[in-house]
């Protein structure tokens, strides 16, 4: 059991939830909660949102099965103007 302190927060009162406690129930910073009173106790429940996690492939995975050497398709538009090594 964790003991927390009720603190003044503007015109209201607030309780700060420790990070490890929030992580146990999957509540990152900015999470919204539902507050109810049940049997004389204040109960906070995380509001679950339907979030889709999209896996972005790593570049190494995209080119893993590629057997040919990569060749750039674009060409330089003008002559060298500095000390470029072409």
Give tens-digit pLDDT for 29-69: 888 899 999 999 999 998 877 666 678 888 888 888 887 77
Q: How far is CA 12 from the centre of its chain?
A: 29
CA torsion through residues 25, 26, 28, 30, sign: negative
Three-class DSSP labels, 11-60: CEEECCCCHHHHHHCCCCCCCCEEEEEECCEEEEEECCCCCCCCCCCCHH
Which residues, in sequence order, are CB contacts of 15 under 8 Å at separation 6+?
4, 5, 6, 7
Q: Is the pLDDT of residue 86 over 60?
A: no
pTM of the model: 0.48
| pLDDT for residue 50 | 65
85: pLDDT confidence band, cut at 50, 70 and 90?
low
């Amino acid at each position: 059991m964790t003991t927390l302190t009720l603190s003044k927060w503007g015109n209201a009162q607030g309780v700060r939830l420790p990070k490890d406690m929030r992580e146990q129930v999957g509540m990152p910073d900015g999470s919204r909660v539902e507050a109810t009173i049940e049997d004389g106790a204040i109960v906070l429940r995380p509001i679950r949102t339907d979030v889709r996690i999209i896996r972005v492939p790593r570049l190494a995975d995209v080119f893993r099965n590629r057997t040919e050497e990569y060749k750039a398709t674009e060409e330089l538009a003008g002559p060298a103007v500095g000390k470029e090594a072409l």
